[in-house]
C-alpha cells in the first residue's frame, strides 16, 4: 500500500524516483544507478508522464524482476512489492559501492541514470573513499634511502598541530562534542565582582552553539566526502559546512527568511530544544557578538561551502595574561590547567603534563616558556632533579 502514490506520480521522475512501462533490459542499470547513489524506487507499469498503465504482476513476473536484481555485483538486496497493477522496486543505497551490471557502472544524476566512463568511475571511487591517491602505498619507493629527517622535523615545527578531534556519533552528540571542543581550546576570562568568580569565554558560547547547530542542520548530506569543520586559528574561529545557502535565500533576506535544507533534522533539533525558532540562528549569532562588544560574525560562501567566521578579540589583550588574581584579569584555559598541575606536583615533566592534561607536548612546552618569560613560574634546580615554582 502506497498512500502517497498520487503525489509521487504527480511530482514526476527525480533523483529517487523512476517510472518504467515494463521490466525491460534497462532495469538492471536503473537498480545499479540507485544503489550507487542514495537509493530510490522504480515504479514498473507507469509511463514517463506518471500515468499508470499497468504491468504483469504475477509471481513469474516478480521472479524475473528479482533475477534481474541478482545480476548486480556485488550482491544487492532490494524489496520487490506489488501495488494494485504495478510493481514497485525499492532500492536501498548500497553499503558496498560501486555496483555494476552487465552493461557497466551506472549512477543516478537528477532524474536520469548515467553510465560511468573510465574517468567518471575513477572520480566516483575517489568520492566514495574507495581510492584515495595520497593514501596509496608505493611499495617500490626506497623510503630508507630517501627519507629526509631534517625536512620531517622542519614540517613538525611548522605544522604546530595542537588539537584535533573527529566526531562520528549521533547528530546531538556531535553538536555537544563540538561545543566542548571549542570551550576547551578557547581562552577564558575570569571576572570577580562578587564573592563568586564568573568565567567568560572569549567568544560567546551562544554564538558558537548557533553556528555549530546551523552547520549541522543545513549541511548538504549528499556530499559524502565533506563534513562539518570546526577550526580554531590564532585570530579567528571558522565553522564550515558543505552546501551553499538553500534556494530562496538571497543577500537581502539572509538572516530573516527561513528555508530549511533538511526539514526532518531541523524538526528533531527543534523538539530537542537545540533550535528555538526556525530562521533565528543568524540573528542570534549577531546579537550575541554585539552584546559581548565583539565584531559581528562574517558569513561567507566559498565554492560549495558555507562558512561562519568569528574574530578572536581576546588575542589583542595578551598583556593581561599574567594578572591571574586581578578582578578583571584574563587567563588562557590551557595555562590555568598547567598552573594547577604544577602547583600540586612541582616535579612534573613536560611528558607527564602532556599525558595528564591530554594535550600535545609542544603545546605544553610553548605555554610553559611563555609563563617563564612573564615571571609567572620559575625553574628551581636542574632538569633531572629540579622543580617548578609558581610565583604568581
Enumerate domains of the chain plus CATH numbers: 5-127 (3.30.950.30), 171-314 (3.30.565.60), 329-390 (1.10.10.10)
Residue predicted with more confidence, 4 or 13: 13
Going by the DSSP 8-state scheme, the letter that residue 381 receives in this structure is S
* Spatial separation of the C-alpha atoms in residues 105 and 95, rounded to whole Å: 16
CB contact at 8 A, 114 and 50: no
pLDDT tier for residue 164 given thresholds of 50, 70 and 90: low
* Spatial separation of the C-alpha atoms in residues 332 and 357, rounded to whole Å: 14
Looking at every residue in the chain, the average pLDDT score rounds to: 82
User: 346: helix, coil or strand?
Assistant: coil
Weakest-pLDDT range from 66-75, 97-106, 328-337? 328-337
Asked if omega into 240 is within 30° of 0 (cis), the reply is: no
Arithmetic mean of pLDDT, 139-167: 73
- Listed in sequence order, the DSSP H helices in 39-134 are 59-69, 118-127
Q: Report pLDDT for 332.
A: 55
Neighbours of 350 (CB within 10 A): 13
User: 222: helix, coil or strand?
Assistant: coil
* Spatial separation of the C-alpha atoms in residues 338 and 50, rounded to whole Å: 68
pLDDT > 60? residue 40: yes
pLDDT > 80? residue 261: no
What are φ and ψ of residue 101, in 5° steps?
A: -125, -175
* Spatial separation of the C-alpha atoms in residues 149 and 14, rounded to whole Å: 54
Q: State which H helix or E strand residue 111 sits in.
A: none
* Spatial separation of the C-alpha atoms in residues 10 and 13, rounded to whole Å: 9
50 grid coordinates: 506518471
CB contact at 8 A, 219 and 246: no
Q: Report pLDDT for 52.
A: 95
In the chain, pLDDT over 90 holds for what percent of residues? 36
| Closest by CA position to 178, among listed 187, 190, 188, 169 | 169
DSSP notation for 268-332: HHHHTTS-SSTT-HHHHHHHHHHHTT-PPPEEEEETTEEEEEEE-GGGGGGGGTT-TTSTT-EE-
Q: Report pLDDT for 230.
A: 92
CB contact at 8 A, 254 and 299: yes
Q: Alpha-carbon Rg of the chain, whole angstroms?
A: 29
86 grid coordinates: 504495478
Helix, strand, coil in percent for the chain, rounding step 5: 35, 20, 45
Long-range CB contacts for residues 254-259, cutoff 8 Å, separation at least 24: 254/282, 254/299, 255/282, 255/283, 255/286, 256/283
Q: Report pLDDT for 173.
A: 92
Give ∠ CA 262-265-271 in degrees, rounded to 5: 135
Per-residue pLDDT tens for 272-330?
Answer: 999 887 667 888 999 999 998 889 999 988 777 889 999 986 443 333 332 233 323 34
- Listed in sequence order, the DSSP H helices in the chain are 5-11, 27-36, 59-69, 118-127, 143-146, 149-159, 171-185, 205-218, 263-271, 281-291, 333-344, 350-357, 361-373
11 grid coordinates: 511530482
pLDDT > 70? residue 32: yes
Residues listed for the chain: 392
Per-residue pLDDT tens for 326-385?
Answer: 323 344 567 778 888 888 888 888 888 888 888 888 888 888 888 887 788 888 888 778
Amino acid at each position: 500500500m502506497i498512500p502517497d502514490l498520487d503525489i509521487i506520480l504527480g511530482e514526476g521522475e527525480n533523483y529517487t524516483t523512476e517510472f518504467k512501462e515494463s521490466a525491460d533490459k534497462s532495469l538492471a542499470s536503473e537498480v545499479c544507478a540507485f544503489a550507487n547513489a542514495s537509493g530510490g524506487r522504480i515504479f514498473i507499469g507507469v509511463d514517463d508522464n506518471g500515468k499508470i498503465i499497468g504491468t504483469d504482476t504475477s509471481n513469474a513476473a516478480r521472479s524475473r524482476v528479482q533475477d534481474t536484481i541478482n545480476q548486480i555485483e556485488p550482491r544487492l538486496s532490494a524489496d520487490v512489492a506489488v501495488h494494485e497493477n504495478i510493481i514497485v522496486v525499492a532500492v536501498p543505497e548500497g553499503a558496498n559501492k560501486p555496483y555494476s551490471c552487465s552493461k557497466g557502472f551506472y549512477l543516478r544524476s537528477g532524474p536520469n541514470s548515467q553510465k560511468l566512463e573510465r574517468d567518471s568511475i575513477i572520480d566516483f571511487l575517489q568520492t566514495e573513499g574507495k581510492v584515495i591517491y595520497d593514501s596509496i602505498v608505493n611499495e617500490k619507493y626506497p623510503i630508507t634511502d630517501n627519507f629526509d629527517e631534517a625536512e620531517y622535523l622542519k614540517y613538525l615545527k611548522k605544522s604546530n598541530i595542537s588539537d584535533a578531534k573527529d566526531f562520528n556519533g549521533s547528530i546531538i552528540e556531535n553538536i555537544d562534542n563540538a561545543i566542548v571542543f571549542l570551550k576547551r581550546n578557547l581562552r577564558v576570562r575570569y571576572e570577580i565582582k562578587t564573592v563568586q568568580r564568573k568565567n567568560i569565554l572569549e567568544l560567546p558560547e551562544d554564538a558558537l552553539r548557533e553556528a555549530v547547530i546551523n552547520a549541522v542542520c543545513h549541511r548538504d548530506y549528499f556530499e559524502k566526502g565533506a563534513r562539518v569543520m570546526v577550526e580554531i586559528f590564532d585570530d579567528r574561529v571558522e565553522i564550515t559546512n558543505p552546501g551553499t545557502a538553500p534556494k530562496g535565500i538571497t543577500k537581502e533576506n539572509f538572516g530573516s527568511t527561513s528555508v530549511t535544507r533538511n526539514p526532518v533534522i531541523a524538526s528533531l533539533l527543534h523538539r530537542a530544544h537545540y533550535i528555538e525558532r526556525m530562521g533565528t540562528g543568524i540573528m542570534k549569532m549577531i546579537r550575541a557578538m554585539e552584546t559581548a562588544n565583539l565584531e559581528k560574525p562574517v558569513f561567507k560562501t566559498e565554492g560549495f561551502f558555507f562558512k561562519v567566521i568569528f574574530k578572536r578579540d581576546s588575542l589583542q589583550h595578551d598583556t593581561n595574561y599574567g594578572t591571574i588574581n586581578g578582578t578583571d584579569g584574563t587567563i588562557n584555559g590551557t595555562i590555568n590547567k598547567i598552573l594547577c598541575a604544577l602547583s600540586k606536583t612541582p616535579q612534573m615533566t613536560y611528558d607527564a603534563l602532556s599525558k595528564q592534561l591530554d594535550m600535545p607536548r609542544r603545546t605544553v612546552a610553548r605555554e610553559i616558556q611563555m609563563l617563564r618569560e612573564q615571571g609567572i613560574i620559575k625553574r628551581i634546580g636542574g632538569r633531572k632533579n629540579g622543580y617548578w615554582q609558581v610565583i604568581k
